[in-house]
Structure 1
Amino acid sequence: MSEDREMRTVWLYSRSGRQSLSELSAQMTDLLEEAERRGYIVVGTSQDRHSGNSIHRVGLKLMMGEVRRGNAHIVMVWDLSRLSRDNSTLIRILNFLQDHGAVLVTAGTDLRYELSIRGVELPLRKRAAQKGRDVPW
């Protein structure tokens, strides 16, 4: 796979704490449309119908495994709350993405604004500087 193609590989992840399949389906449809619009190559998708307070979710673990193996270089979610509403869980996920050179993209919101208002942008920037890594966005 060429480097340009490889760097456009995206994993799409959706989550809802509700048991509504239609909500998850709508999120995924929106993510697929946005990935196509941006010219990304979708290498996989996963979903969870589970609270975002835990890192122990099947769909999240599937996405993280593909990032770990280098099969996905971008992770796209609708907004940060799809990863987690809990900042400590969110930071764990973002640290993982940073450690594996993956980039997080939000399809429905301004990611930097979300990171800023949740108070997690600065700690992630400091960690990136300390580890000599890029920020995961």
Structure 2
Amino acid sequence: MEQAKRAWIYCRIDAPEDLHGALKRQRQQLMDYAEQMGFEVTGSSQDQASGLNRNRPGLNEVTEAARNGRMDVLIVRDISRIGRDTCQTMEYLEQLSRMGVQTCSPMEGVLDFTFQKVIRDALSHMEMK
């Protein structure tokens, strides 16, 4: 029998307070998704902060869990929960991928930017000539 993938749930809102329970709803949606996918949830973290700054306690906890091999999959509502800066977010997802962590979203499926990375690297190489 195949062992279930270990999942980590990450939620973020850009508000100083969660007056309307958005984090709780986000987390429940991701827990339901993990159950539907057959993942074993091994942890979760959250932030109430801007998506423009990657230095957030909850996201740092995600990074540490990935480094320590505590997850196979990171589940987020959508890519904007990780960050609002496209380049920083792509770099972060690449970093997770190098640690063996796949990022999934019930809204967007598997978040994989391999193709975009190839294009970016090719353009960078052309600019250097």
Distance 1:98-1:124 versus aligned 2 partners, 3 A rule: farther
Question: What's the TM-score once normalised by structure 2's chain length?
Answer: 0.81
Among residues 13, 18, 29, which one is paired with 1:20 in the alignment?
18
- Aligned-pair CA distance for 1:54: 1.3
Q: Which runs of 4+ in 1 moved over 6 A?
A: none
Q: Distance in 2 between matches of 1:102 and 1:126?
A: 22
Task: Say whether 1:11 aligns with 2:4.
Answer: no
- Aligned-pair CA distance for 1:88: 2.0
Does the 8 Å contact 1:79/1:111 carry over to 2? no
Unaligned runs of 5+ in 1: 128-137
Question: What's the TM-score once normalised by structure 1's chain length?
Answer: 0.77
Distance 1:53-1:25 versus aligned 2 partners, 3 A rule: same
Q: Distance in 2 between matches of 1:23 and 1:106?
A: 17
Q: The residue matched to 2:83 in structure 1 has which SS? A: coil
Aligned length in residues: 118
Unaligned runs of 5+ in 2: 121-129
Q: Distance in 2 between matches of 1:69 and 1:75?
A: 14
- Aligned-pair CA distance for 1:98: 1.6
Q: The residue matched to 1:51 in structure 2 has which SS? A: coil
Structure-1 residue corresponding to 2:94: 95
- Aligned-pair CA distance for 1:90: 0.3
Does the 8 Å contact 1:54/1:89 carry over to 2? no
Does the 8 Å contact 2:5/2:40 carry over to 1? yes
Write the mapping of 1:57-136 to structure 2, written as runs, cut at 5 A: 57-111=56-110, 122-125=115-118
Larger gyration radius, structure 1 or structure 2: 2
Q: CA offsets, 1:65-101, max 9 Å, x none?
A: 1111111010000000000111122022112112101
Matched-pair identity in % = 27
Q: The residue matched to 2:44 in structure 1 has which SS? A: strand
